[in-house]
Amino acid sequence: MKHTLALLVTASLAYGITPATAADLGGDCCADLEQRVAELEATTARKGNRKVSLTVSGQVNTALMYFDPDIDMGPVPTSKWGVIDNGVSNSRISFDGSAKINAKTSVGFKFEVGRSDLGALNLDDNLIGGGDGLVVRQANWHINGSIGRLTVGKAHTATSGAGQVSVANTGMAVEMLSLEPTSSAQLFGFNVPFRSEVLEDVVRYDSPVLAGFRLSASFQDEDAWDAALRYAGELGDFRLAAAIGYAKEDDIDLGIATIPSFPGVNIETTTLTGSASLMHTPTGLFLNGAYGKADVDVNSSSIDVTAWHIMGGIERKWWSIGKTTLYGEYASLDIGEMEVTPTLWGVGFIQEVEAAATDFYVTARVHDLDLDISDEPTPVSVIAGARIKF
């Protein structure tokens, strides 16, 4: 009997102590966990529903720029040094959504805003124009299926970037057939008219990829449309990418704004743009080439502008932190009716830092304006900066 009582007392004590202790520990643990969850919820961006996935991404790309126009501006004060947002690939943030309708079909959207840094010769007192703010780059929905992708809204046109193809890591610092970032920082946004980046309100169709090829077409209205064919693939030890595009519109795109046709003035433009990029993967040697031709007809009077651009270099992982890219470039622009053929040459260095999703770069360009005058100016630009992606 004594043994039985002792066992009962021992069991009762164990039973009473164990649940109480567990309850105390569990209560403190859960309370702390619930508080932590509440803090996380208070600092977390929420989606509107659980059916559409949301991805937030973007980049910051700013640089120190030296630009010497080598032109006497008289009483107008200018600054040769300045900090810019790099117009080659500007700072931006993107919101991408996606939802599946079935196993083969999905819908999604893209809303993207970017920094607009439109300079005006960097005038010290802001005497002329300029501006800085956020602009909507893209706002569209798309549907993807086995027969391709349909996009409606503000988006890249079919030929956007067709002249700037590169398999090397150069896209954040320099682009083919373009004056960026000198254009946005110094030239009121004026760029050569070769579709380096065209964002418009469009209906765009992209075919499925077949043997590395993809066909794209888009239209803004009955007077503006374009089409492009792109290829990407590998042939043995070589990586290859190429694009060719044709655009037709009845307005003039100067890079800053679109100027519509005025009553009594018939303006039509057609633009043919193409580029290709080849890299020998064992050595990292690469070569890019691009060509553009724009025909502008104003009341049956034609202005022809053609350009070509070559870039060559090497891209190797000499350091463990990431790939290093070295390149040289040469480009020529021919404005036939004006009999002017300006050229540029340049060099650049880009260092990738894989662990930080960052690219550091230094680029330099020298321009020959071919004005055939005494004391002809030779503008020089040097840009040093970094792009961080997130």
- Calculate the alpha carbon distances from 217 to 54, 152, 207, 209, 296 in Å: 27, 12, 9, 14, 21
Distance set, CA 98 to CA 52, 55, 143, 345, 379 (Å): 5, 9, 9, 43, 46
Per-residue pLDDT averaged across 62-72, rounded?
Answer: 88
Q: By mean pLDDT, which of 34-48, 94-108, 329-343 is the weakest? A: 34-48
Length of the chain: 390
The region of weakest confidence among 137-141, 168-172, 245-249, 337-341 is 337-341
Is the pLDDT at 176 greater than 60? The verdict is: yes
Is pLDDT above 50 for 189? yes
Which tens digit of pLDDT belongs to each residue from 194-250? 878 899 999 999 999 999 999 999 999 888 999 999 999 999 999 999 999 999 988
pLDDT for 314 beyond 50: yes
Give mean pLDDT, residues 266-276. Answer: 89
User: At CA 94, angle to CA 327 and CA 143, rounded to 5?
Assistant: 105
Are 312 and 325 in contact by the 8 Å Cβ rule? The answer is: no
- Alpha-carbon gap, residue 118 to 85, rounded angstroms: 9
Burial of 170 from C-beta contacts in 10 A (0-12 / 13-18 / 19+): buried
Per-residue pLDDT tens digits for 68-105: 987 765 655 567 888 999 999 999 999 999 999 999 99
Cα–Cα nearest to 255, from 211, 196, 296, 215: 196
Angle in degrees, CA 189, 193, 194, rounded to 5: 120
The continuous run of DSSP H or E covering 308 comes out as strand 301-319
Higher pLDDT, 104 or 376: 104
pLDDT(43) > 90: no
Mean pLDDT value across residues 333-361: 92
Give the per-residue pLDDT at 254. 43
Mean pLDDT of 131-157: 93
Alpha carbon 389 to its chain's center: 11
Q: Give the closest residue to 243 by CA, choosing from 306, 290, 311.
A: 290
At 228, give phi and psi (nearest 5°). -150, 150
Rounded-to-10 torsion of CA 159, 135, 64, 387: -70
Give just the sign of the alpha carbon dihedral 159, 164, 166, 171: negative
Check: CB of residue 346 under 8 Å from CB of residue 365: yes
State how far the Cα of 231 lies from the Cα of 206, in Å rounded to an integer. 13
List Cβ neighbours of 124 (8 Å cut-off, separation of 6 or more).
Answer: 77, 78, 79
Per-residue pLDDT averaged across 42-59, rounded? 82
Give alpha helix (H) positions in 217-274: none
The candidate with the shortest Cα–Cα distance to 84, out of 184, 4, 151, is: 184
Check residues 99 and 377 and name the one with the higher pLDDT: 99
Looking at residue 218, its pLDDT comes to 98
- Eight-state DSSP code of residue 177: T
Q: What is the mean pLDDT of residues 3-24?
A: 41
**8 Å CB contact between 159 and 374:** no
E strand or H helix at 39, and its extent? helix 2-42
3-state secondary structure at position 19: helix
53-389: CATH number:
2.40.160.10
DSSP state of 172: T
Q: Establish how many alpha carbons lie within 13 A of residue 32's alpha carbon, considering only the half-sphere containing its beta carbon.
A: 6
pLDDT in the model for residue 45? 63
Q: How do 199-206 and 238-249 pair as beta strands?
A: unpaired
DSSP for 260-290, written as a single string: PPPTT--EEEEEEEEEEEEEETTTTEEEEEE
Mean pLDDT of all residues in 2-10? 42
250: alpha, beta or left? (left if phi > 0; alpha if psi -120 to 50): alpha
Residue bearing tokens 């999703």: 357
**What rounded mean pLDDT belongs to the chain?**
84
Task: Give the tens place of pLDDT for each residue, 273-306.
Answer: 999 999 999 999 999 999 999 998 876 778 889 9
Q: How far apart are CA 328 and CA 345, in angstroms?
A: 8
pLDDT higher for 260 or 358?
A: 358
The pTM of this model reads 0.81
| Extents of the domains making up the chain | 1-44, 53-389
Task: Using alpha carbons, select from 364, 336, 338 the residue that is nearest to residue 350.
Answer: 364
pLDDT confidence bin for 267, thresholds 50/70/90:
confident
